[in-house]
Structure 1
Amino acid sequence: MSGSEQALAAIIEGCQPSKVVALGETAERLARRWSEHHPCDITRLAPKDTGAGLLFSEVQDLGLVTDTLEHMSVQQGQVLIGQLRNYGTRQIAVLVQNQSGWSLNDFIALGFKREAQLKSGGDGEALALYTYNISSYNHQRPWNNPRFWANPHMWGKAWW
Protein backbone atom coordinates (compact mmCIF):
# COMPACT_ATOMS: atom_id res chain seq x y z
CA MET A 1 0.00 0.00 0.00
CA SER A 2 1.18 3.50 -0.77
CA GLY A 3 1.60 6.15 1.91
CA SER A 4 -1.64 7.84 0.91
CA GLU A 5 -3.57 4.57 1.13
CA GLN A 6 -2.00 3.82 4.53
CA ALA A 7 -3.07 7.25 5.78
CA LEU A 8 -6.66 6.66 4.64
CA ALA A 9 -6.61 3.14 6.11
CA ALA A 10 -5.52 4.62 9.45
CA ILE A 11 -8.47 7.04 9.33
CA ILE A 12 -10.84 4.15 8.59
CA GLU A 13 -9.35 2.12 11.45
CA GLY A 14 -9.66 5.05 13.85
CA CYS A 15 -13.27 5.74 12.86
CA GLN A 16 -14.43 2.10 12.94
CA PRO A 17 -17.31 2.91 10.55
CA SER A 18 -20.38 0.79 10.02
CA LYS A 19 -21.58 3.04 7.15
CA VAL A 20 -19.16 4.44 4.55
CA VAL A 21 -19.72 6.69 1.54
CA ALA A 22 -16.98 6.21 -1.07
CA LEU A 23 -16.22 8.43 -4.04
CA GLY A 24 -13.31 7.44 -6.22
CA GLU A 25 -11.42 4.28 -7.03
CA THR A 26 -9.02 4.33 -4.09
CA ALA A 27 -11.82 5.16 -1.63
CA GLU A 28 -13.95 2.28 -2.92
CA ARG A 29 -11.06 -0.18 -2.76
CA LEU A 30 -10.22 0.76 0.84
CA ALA A 31 -13.88 0.69 1.90
CA ARG A 32 -14.30 -2.75 0.32
CA ARG A 33 -11.19 -3.99 2.12
CA TRP A 34 -12.59 -2.69 5.43
CA SER A 35 -15.99 -4.34 4.82
CA GLU A 36 -14.37 -7.72 4.17
CA HIS A 37 -13.34 -7.90 7.84
CA HIS A 38 -15.96 -5.72 9.56
CA PRO A 39 -19.73 -5.36 9.24
CA CYS A 40 -20.05 -2.27 7.07
CA ASP A 41 -22.50 -0.84 4.53
CA ILE A 42 -20.82 0.93 1.62
CA THR A 43 -22.52 3.55 -0.51
CA ARG A 44 -20.64 4.15 -3.74
CA LEU A 45 -21.17 7.52 -5.36
CA ALA A 46 -20.06 9.14 -8.58
CA PRO A 47 -19.61 12.91 -8.88
CA LYS A 48 -22.69 13.10 -11.13
CA ASP A 49 -24.80 11.63 -8.28
CA THR A 50 -24.48 14.86 -6.33
CA GLY A 51 -26.12 17.02 -9.00
CA ALA A 52 -29.60 16.21 -7.71
CA GLY A 53 -28.52 16.20 -4.07
CA LEU A 54 -27.61 13.33 -1.79
CA LEU A 55 -30.27 11.47 0.10
CA PHE A 56 -29.09 9.03 2.73
CA SER A 57 -31.57 7.03 4.77
CA GLU A 58 -29.18 7.08 7.73
CA VAL A 59 -26.27 9.18 8.96
CA GLN A 60 -23.00 7.98 7.46
CA ASP A 61 -20.03 7.37 9.75
CA LEU A 62 -17.33 8.12 7.19
CA GLY A 63 -17.04 9.70 3.78
CA LEU A 64 -13.96 8.97 1.66
CA VAL A 65 -13.22 11.11 -1.40
CA THR A 66 -10.31 10.23 -3.69
CA ASP A 67 -9.54 10.62 -7.40
CA THR A 68 -12.57 12.91 -7.74
CA LEU A 69 -11.96 16.59 -7.04
CA GLU A 70 -9.20 16.75 -9.63
CA HIS A 71 -11.78 16.17 -12.37
CA MET A 72 -14.28 18.87 -11.45
CA SER A 73 -14.34 22.60 -10.85
CA VAL A 74 -13.78 23.92 -7.35
CA GLN A 75 -17.40 25.10 -7.25
CA GLN A 76 -18.71 21.62 -8.14
CA GLY A 77 -16.37 20.09 -5.58
CA GLN A 78 -17.57 22.48 -2.90
CA VAL A 79 -21.14 21.38 -3.59
CA LEU A 80 -20.10 17.73 -3.38
CA ILE A 81 -18.18 18.14 -0.12
CA GLY A 82 -20.84 20.45 1.30
CA GLN A 83 -23.56 17.91 0.62
CA LEU A 84 -21.60 15.13 2.32
CA ARG A 85 -20.99 17.35 5.32
CA ASN A 86 -24.48 18.86 5.52
CA TYR A 87 -26.29 15.54 5.22
CA GLY A 88 -24.68 14.38 8.44
CA THR A 89 -21.58 12.44 7.49
CA ARG A 90 -19.72 12.34 10.82
CA GLN A 91 -16.21 12.24 9.39
CA ILE A 92 -14.90 12.97 5.91
CA ALA A 93 -11.43 12.32 4.49
CA VAL A 94 -10.43 13.87 1.17
CA LEU A 95 -7.29 13.00 -0.74
CA VAL A 96 -6.51 15.50 -3.49
CA GLN A 97 -3.55 16.25 -5.74
CA ASN A 98 -1.70 19.44 -4.84
CA GLN A 99 -1.80 20.55 -8.49
CA SER A 100 -5.59 20.19 -8.74
CA GLY A 101 -6.47 23.85 -8.23
CA TRP A 102 -7.70 23.32 -4.68
CA SER A 103 -6.01 25.34 -1.94
CA LEU A 104 -5.78 24.97 1.81
CA ASN A 105 -8.16 27.92 2.15
CA ASP A 106 -10.81 26.14 0.06
CA PHE A 107 -10.83 23.28 2.56
CA ILE A 108 -10.64 25.51 5.63
CA ALA A 109 -13.72 27.33 4.33
CA LEU A 110 -15.54 23.98 4.36
CA GLY A 111 -14.48 23.19 7.94
CA PHE A 112 -11.62 20.83 7.04
CA LYS A 113 -8.09 20.70 8.35
CA ARG A 114 -4.99 19.44 6.57
CA GLU A 115 -3.78 16.18 8.07
CA ALA A 116 -0.80 15.40 5.87
CA GLN A 117 1.20 16.04 2.73
CA LEU A 118 1.78 12.71 0.97
CA LYS A 119 3.06 11.13 -2.22
CA SER A 120 1.07 8.65 -4.25
CA GLY A 121 2.43 5.19 -4.83
CA GLY A 122 3.42 4.90 -8.47
CA ASP A 123 4.07 8.32 -9.94
CA GLY A 124 5.16 10.20 -6.81
CA GLU A 125 2.43 12.82 -7.28
CA ALA A 126 2.17 15.19 -4.31
CA LEU A 127 -1.12 14.74 -2.47
CA ALA A 128 -2.79 16.44 0.46
CA LEU A 129 -5.07 14.72 2.97
CA TYR A 130 -7.83 16.84 4.48
CA THR A 131 -10.26 15.73 7.16
CA TYR A 132 -13.50 16.91 8.70
CA ASN A 133 -14.89 15.58 11.97
CA ILE A 134 -18.21 16.90 13.27
CA SER A 135 -17.28 16.14 16.88
CA SER A 136 -14.20 18.37 16.80
CA TYR A 137 -15.28 20.92 14.19
CA ASN A 138 -16.86 23.49 16.50
CA HIS A 139 -14.75 23.49 19.64
CA GLN A 140 -16.17 24.67 22.96
CA ARG A 141 -15.29 28.28 23.61
CA PRO A 142 -14.59 29.19 27.23
CA TRP A 143 -16.27 32.59 26.90
CA ASN A 144 -19.58 31.15 25.61
CA ASN A 145 -21.30 30.70 28.96
CA PRO A 146 -23.56 32.77 31.26
CA ARG A 147 -20.65 34.23 33.22
CA PHE A 148 -19.58 36.36 30.25
CA TRP A 149 -23.02 37.53 29.17
CA ALA A 150 -24.40 40.98 29.92
CA ASN A 151 -27.53 39.39 31.39
CA PRO A 152 -26.51 35.99 32.75
CA HIS A 153 -29.94 35.42 34.27
CA MET A 154 -31.33 35.24 30.70
CA TRP A 155 -28.94 32.45 29.58
CA GLY A 156 -30.91 29.76 27.76
CA LYS A 157 -34.28 31.52 28.17
CA ALA A 158 -34.64 33.77 25.16
CA TRP A 159 -33.98 32.72 21.59
CA TRP A 160 -34.39 35.34 18.92
Structure 2
Amino acid sequence: MNTAIASKAIETPQEKLAAILDSHQPRSLLTVSLNPVPVAQHWCDDHDCELISIQELDPFKQLEAVRRVDMAVVADQLEYMNQKDGEALLGLLRNLHTDSMVAVYQPRLAPEKLRWPHNGFLALGCREEGHFAQDGRELDIYSYDLDDYNFRRQWNNPRFWANPEHWGKYWW
Protein backbone atom coordinates (compact mmCIF):
# COMPACT_ATOMS: atom_id res chain seq x y z
CA MET A 1 0.00 0.00 0.00
CA ASN A 2 1.33 3.39 -0.97
CA THR A 3 1.17 5.63 2.08
CA ALA A 4 2.82 8.56 0.29
CA ILE A 5 -0.51 9.50 -1.26
CA ALA A 6 -2.83 10.71 1.47
CA SER A 7 -6.00 12.67 1.10
CA LYS A 8 -5.75 16.21 2.43
CA ALA A 9 -8.01 16.88 5.41
CA ILE A 10 -10.59 19.59 4.77
CA GLU A 11 -9.80 22.48 7.07
CA THR A 12 -11.92 25.40 5.90
CA PRO A 13 -15.56 25.91 4.94
CA GLN A 14 -14.44 27.02 1.48
CA GLU A 15 -12.59 23.74 0.96
CA LYS A 16 -15.64 21.80 2.16
CA LEU A 17 -17.97 23.64 -0.19
CA ALA A 18 -15.55 23.12 -3.09
CA ALA A 19 -15.35 19.40 -2.23
CA ILE A 20 -19.16 19.14 -2.28
CA LEU A 21 -19.26 20.89 -5.66
CA ASP A 22 -16.52 18.56 -6.93
CA SER A 23 -18.49 15.51 -5.84
CA HIS A 24 -21.69 16.65 -7.59
CA GLN A 25 -20.15 18.27 -10.69
CA PRO A 26 -23.17 20.52 -11.40
CA ARG A 27 -23.52 22.11 -14.84
CA SER A 28 -25.80 24.83 -13.45
CA LEU A 29 -25.53 26.35 -9.98
CA LEU A 30 -27.89 28.71 -8.18
CA THR A 31 -26.61 30.80 -5.28
CA VAL A 32 -29.01 32.55 -2.92
CA SER A 33 -26.96 34.89 -0.78
CA LEU A 34 -26.93 38.53 0.21
CA ASN A 35 -23.24 38.62 -0.71
CA PRO A 36 -21.33 36.95 -3.54
CA VAL A 37 -20.16 33.38 -2.90
CA PRO A 38 -16.55 33.42 -4.20
CA VAL A 39 -16.09 29.64 -3.96
CA ALA A 40 -19.11 29.08 -6.21
CA GLN A 41 -17.94 31.74 -8.67
CA HIS A 42 -14.42 30.27 -8.89
CA TRP A 43 -15.72 26.73 -9.18
CA CYS A 44 -18.11 27.69 -12.00
CA ASP A 45 -15.34 29.59 -13.83
CA ASP A 46 -13.03 26.57 -13.63
CA HIS A 47 -15.63 23.94 -14.55
CA ASP A 48 -17.72 25.60 -17.28
CA CYS A 49 -20.75 25.77 -15.02
CA GLU A 50 -23.58 28.27 -15.41
CA LEU A 51 -23.95 30.42 -12.29
CA ILE A 52 -27.26 32.06 -11.40
CA SER A 53 -27.14 34.41 -8.40
CA ILE A 54 -29.93 35.89 -6.32
CA GLN A 55 -28.80 38.60 -3.90
CA GLU A 56 -32.00 39.81 -2.27
CA LEU A 57 -33.20 39.90 1.32
CA ASP A 58 -36.49 38.45 0.06
CA PRO A 59 -35.47 36.02 -2.73
CA PHE A 60 -38.93 34.51 -3.35
CA LYS A 61 -39.93 36.93 -6.13
CA GLN A 62 -36.74 36.31 -8.12
CA LEU A 63 -37.00 32.55 -7.60
CA GLU A 64 -40.23 32.55 -9.62
CA ALA A 65 -38.19 33.27 -12.77
CA VAL A 66 -35.47 30.68 -12.07
CA ARG A 67 -35.63 27.40 -13.94
CA ARG A 68 -34.48 24.05 -12.57
CA VAL A 69 -30.75 23.83 -11.79
CA ASP A 70 -28.37 21.00 -10.91
CA MET A 71 -27.47 22.42 -7.48
CA ALA A 72 -28.28 25.35 -5.20
CA VAL A 73 -26.15 27.00 -2.51
CA VAL A 74 -27.76 29.14 0.20
CA ALA A 75 -25.20 31.18 2.13
CA ASP A 76 -25.38 34.40 4.13
CA GLN A 77 -29.16 34.40 3.76
CA LEU A 78 -30.83 32.28 6.43
CA GLU A 79 -29.27 34.34 9.20
CA TYR A 80 -31.54 37.24 8.22
CA MET A 81 -34.77 35.28 7.82
CA ASN A 82 -37.05 33.84 10.46
CA GLN A 83 -37.13 30.05 10.56
CA LYS A 84 -40.53 29.84 8.87
CA ASP A 85 -39.35 31.84 5.84
CA GLY A 86 -36.03 29.98 5.80
CA GLU A 87 -37.82 26.63 5.77
CA ALA A 88 -40.05 27.91 2.96
CA LEU A 89 -36.96 28.96 0.98
CA LEU A 90 -35.16 25.64 1.43
CA GLY A 91 -38.34 23.70 0.74
CA LEU A 92 -39.01 25.68 -2.43
CA LEU A 93 -35.48 25.07 -3.65
CA ARG A 94 -35.60 21.38 -2.73
CA ASN A 95 -39.03 20.71 -4.21
CA LEU A 96 -39.07 22.88 -7.33
CA HIS A 97 -35.61 24.02 -8.34
CA THR A 98 -33.03 21.32 -7.62
CA ASP A 99 -32.34 17.82 -6.34
CA SER A 100 -29.17 18.90 -4.50
CA MET A 101 -28.55 21.88 -2.27
CA VAL A 102 -26.10 23.18 0.31
CA ALA A 103 -26.95 25.52 3.18
CA VAL A 104 -24.18 27.50 4.85
CA TYR A 105 -25.34 28.88 8.18
CA GLN A 106 -23.61 31.08 10.75
CA PRO A 107 -25.69 30.79 13.94
CA ARG A 108 -23.92 33.56 15.86
CA LEU A 109 -24.45 36.01 13.01
CA ALA A 110 -28.22 35.68 13.33
CA PRO A 111 -30.04 37.66 16.02
CA GLU A 112 -31.15 35.46 18.93
CA LYS A 113 -34.82 35.46 17.90
CA LEU A 114 -33.95 34.36 14.34
CA ARG A 115 -31.51 31.56 15.23
CA TRP A 116 -32.29 28.11 13.94
CA PRO A 117 -31.96 25.12 16.22
CA HIS A 118 -29.49 22.48 15.07
CA ASN A 119 -32.27 20.03 14.32
CA GLY A 120 -34.07 22.59 12.12
CA PHE A 121 -31.92 21.60 9.15
CA LEU A 122 -32.07 17.92 9.98
CA ALA A 123 -35.88 18.10 10.05
CA LEU A 124 -35.78 19.24 6.41
CA GLY A 125 -33.84 16.13 5.41
CA CYS A 126 -30.44 17.82 5.40
CA ARG A 127 -27.22 16.13 6.42
CA GLU A 128 -24.61 17.94 8.49
CA GLU A 129 -21.45 18.23 6.41
CA GLY A 130 -19.30 20.13 8.84
CA HIS A 131 -19.04 22.50 11.77
CA PHE A 132 -16.27 25.10 11.65
CA ALA A 133 -15.29 27.35 14.55
CA GLN A 134 -12.49 29.87 14.56
CA ASP A 135 -11.84 33.18 16.32
CA GLY A 136 -15.27 33.22 17.95
CA ARG A 137 -17.06 32.60 14.66
CA GLU A 138 -19.07 29.49 13.89
CA LEU A 139 -20.24 28.16 10.57
CA ASP A 140 -22.25 25.03 9.78
CA ILE A 141 -22.65 23.40 6.39
CA TYR A 142 -25.66 21.22 5.62
CA SER A 143 -26.47 19.42 2.39
CA TYR A 144 -29.49 17.79 0.84
CA ASP A 145 -29.36 15.35 -2.04
CA LEU A 146 -32.49 13.61 -3.24
CA ASP A 147 -30.47 10.60 -4.45
CA ASP A 148 -29.23 9.69 -0.97
CA TYR A 149 -31.90 11.32 1.19
CA ASN A 150 -33.88 8.12 1.69
CA PHE A 151 -31.41 5.27 1.91
CA ARG A 152 -32.40 1.83 0.69
CA ARG A 153 -33.40 -0.40 3.57
CA GLN A 154 -32.46 -4.07 3.64
CA TRP A 155 -35.82 -5.14 5.06
CA ASN A 156 -37.98 -3.35 2.49
CA ASN A 157 -38.36 -6.20 0.02
CA PRO A 158 -40.71 -9.19 -0.39
CA ARG A 159 -38.38 -11.60 1.41
CA PHE A 160 -39.22 -10.06 4.79
CA TRP A 161 -42.96 -9.70 4.26
CA ALA A 162 -45.57 -12.06 5.71
CA ASN A 163 -47.11 -12.65 2.28
CA PRO A 164 -44.32 -12.11 -0.26
CA GLU A 165 -46.54 -13.28 -3.10
CA HIS A 166 -48.56 -10.06 -2.66
CA TRP A 167 -45.52 -7.75 -3.04
CA GLY A 168 -46.29 -5.09 -5.62
CA LYS A 169 -49.85 -6.30 -6.25
CA TYR A 170 -51.81 -4.33 -3.70
CA TRP A 171 -51.57 -0.75 -2.57
CA TRP A 172 -53.27 -0.03 0.70
TM-score bracket for this pair, using the shorter chain length = 0.7 to 0.9
Gaps of 5+ in 2: 1-10
2:23 alignment partner, SS class: helix
- Aligned equivalent of 1:143, options 152, 155, 158: 155
Greater relative contact order: 1 or 2 (C-alpha under 8 angstroms, separation 6 or more)?
1
Corresponding residue for residue 66 of structure 1? 75
- Aligned equivalent of 1:6, options 15, 19, 28: 15
CA gap 1:54/1:149 in 2 versus in 1, 3 angstroms: farther
Paired residue type of 1:118: F
Gaps of 5+ in 1: none
Q: How does 1:1-160 map to 2 (within 5 A)?
A: 3-24=12-33, 25-27=35-37, 29-45=38-54, 46-50=56-60, 54=64, 56-58=66-68, 60-99=69-108, 100=110, 101-119=115-133, 124-160=136-172
Number of aligned positions between the proteins? 155
**How does the TM-score come out when normalised to structure 1?**
0.84
CA distance in 2, matches of 1:55, 1:84: 13
Deviation, 1:56, is 4.4
CA distance in 1, matches of 2:63, 2:48: 27
CA distance in 1, matches of 2:29, 2:136: 27
Listed one character per residue, the Cα deviations across residues 56-95 of structure 1 (whole Å, up to 9, x for unaligned) are: 433x221111100000100000000011111152221111
Larger C-alpha radius of gyration, 1 or 2?
A: 2
Paired residue type of 1:125: R
* Identity score, percent: 35
Paired residue type of 1:111: G
